[in-house]
Amino acid sequence: MTNMNPYVPFASEILDVIKHTGKEYTFRMAFKGEVKPGQFFEVSIPKFGEAPISVSGIGDGFVDLTIRKVGRVTNEVFEKYKGQNLLLRGPYGNGFDVDLYKDSEVVVVAGGTGVSPVRGVIQALSEMPDAQDKYVIAGFRSPDDMLFRDDLKAWDEKLKLTLTVDGAPEGYTGNIGLVTKYIEGLPLRDPANAKAVVVGPPPMMKFTIIELQKKGFKDSNITVSHERKMCCGLGKCGHCRVNDTYICLDGPVFNYEFAKNFVD
């Protein structure tokens, strides 16, 4: 059989490797085709397995995959160098609709590797004419865990960026505190009509949404992205299902008005 089989991965060349931290690298992978921020690929390493990884950047002839080294598959990915191939299948999932965020106040709250799936969204926001109405609150565990340092600098010049860390060694001059701390003080003109994007670990998403609600955000104006165990990305293996929703097919990006009914 041929590439008609959706389980058969394709080879993609590693065009570049960008090292953010000791265990978080961005792999720039050769790719031509339609893809949106928030979608994901299955990185498929024969004899080791597959891991769903979000698209963290999209460009002419490439996609970026920002990967944290945590286990069997991701360890193996970190053994690869520029010029070698990785096997991929995808893209899967719905992705973000960036047009939703035109002409309104927008707040993106992202934690840790949660910044990856929204990097493309933030990029687009920073290029909008009303970039001064776009707020980004990005949180990392410590100054050493920061991803996309160059991007952060560039974004800071165009839109309103709050960068924070959970904890830092003595002498650190930046913000220290959880992302939730910075929502109350956002100088929004019209929170009831402002839009928000929240991506990160489940507890971070939960408490961020509570803060946004307090601030006056409507549930229907909040977009979230979910992660679950995924073995296929195709709606077959069942692992990602919540209620009657398949995160891999119907998501991973959801309107919170809908996603608030998820019960695992």
Partner 1 sequence: MGYVLTKAGFAEVIASLLEEYRIFAPVRKVGAGRFTDVDAVIYDEIRSADEIELEAKSDYASKEFLTPLSETLFYFTENEVKESDFDGRPVLVFGRSCDLHSLKRLDQIYLENGLAKDPFYKRRRDLIKCVLIGCGHSYDNCFCVSMDSNKCEDGYVFSVDLIDGKIHSNILDESFDKAFSAVSGSEKKDVIPRFVTENDVKVEIPEEVPQGIIKSELWDEYTTRCINCGRCNFVCPTCTCYTMQDVFYSDNGRVGERRRVGASCMVDGYTDVAGGGQYRRKNGERMRFKVLHKISDFKKRFGYQMCVGCGRCDDICPEYISFSNIINKVNAASKEVKS
Ligand X SMILES: Cc1cc2nc3c(=O)[nH]c(=O)nc-3n(C[C@H](O)[C@H](O)[C@H](O)COP(=O)(O)OP(=O)(O)OC[C@H]3O[C@@H](n4cnc5c(N)ncnc54)[C@H](O)[C@@H]3O)c2cc1C
Q: Which residues within the stretch 231-260 sit at the binding site for ligand FES (CB under 6 A)?
A: 231-233, 235-240, 246, 248
Distance CA(71)–CA(55), nearest Å, equals 19
Does residue number 232 form part of the binding site for partner 1 (CB under 8 A)? yes
Which residue shows structure tokens 């493309």? 120
Does residue number 83 form part of the binding site for ligand FES (CB under 6 A)? no
Does residue number 116 form part of the binding site for ligand X (CB under 6 A)? yes
Does residue number 52 form part of the binding site for ligand X (CB under 6 A)? yes
Does residue number 35 form part of the binding site for partner 1 (CB under 8 A)? no
Question: Angle at Cα 222 formed by Cα 219 and Cα 225, nearest 5°?
Answer: 125
- For partner 1, the binding residue among 123, 235, 255, 258 (CB under 8 A) is 235
- For partner 1, the binding residue among 80, 228, 255, 258 (CB under 8 A) is 228
Residue 88's nearest CA partner among 52, 127, 39 is: 52
| Residue 92 C-beta-side C-alpha neighbours within 13 Å | 29
The minimum distance between CB 2 and ligand FES, in angstroms, equals 22
Does residue number 50 form part of the binding site for partner 1 (CB under 8 A)? yes
Give the one entry of partner 1, ligand FES, ligand X, none that residue 40 binds, where binding means its C-beta sits below a cut-off of 5 to 8 angstroms depending on kind: ligand X
DSSP letters spanning 93-151? S----GGGGTTS-EEEEEEGGGHHHHHHHHHHHHTSTTGGGEEEEEEESSGGG---HHH
Residue 160's nearest CA partner among 193, 196, 121, 133 is: 133
Using alpha carbons, list the distances in angstroms from residue 122 to 45, 71, 125, 160, 214. Answer: 30, 29, 5, 11, 24
- For partner 1, the binding residue among 49, 130, 156, 181 (CB under 8 A) is 49
Token pair listed for 38: 């928030």
Residues with Cβ within 8 Å of residue 176, at least 6 apart in sequence: 164, 165, 166, 167, 168
Which residue shows structure tokens 């995959």? 65
- For partner 1, the binding residue among 59, 61, 167, 202 (CB under 8 A) is 202
Q: Which residues within the stretch 65-94 sit at the binding site for partner 1 (CB under 8 A)?
A: 68, 70-71, 74, 87
Distance CA(72)–CA(84), nearest Å, equals 19
Residue closer to ligand X (CB basis): 72 or 260: 72
Does residue number 235 form part of the binding site for ligand X (CB under 6 A)? no
| Stretch of 97-105, 171-179, 183-191, 225-233 lying at the interface with ligand X (CB under 6 A) | 225-233
Distance CA(53)–CA(64), nearest Å, equals 10
- For partner 1, the binding residue among 45, 109, 118, 159 (CB under 8 A) is 45
What residue ranges bind partner 1 (CB under 8 A)? 1, 4-9, 45-51, 68, 70-71, 74, 87, 201-202, 227-229, 231-232, 234-239, 241, 243-244, 246, 248-249, 261, 263-264
What residue ranges bind ligand X (CB under 6 A)? 40, 49, 51-54, 66-68, 70-74, 113, 116, 227-228, 230, 252
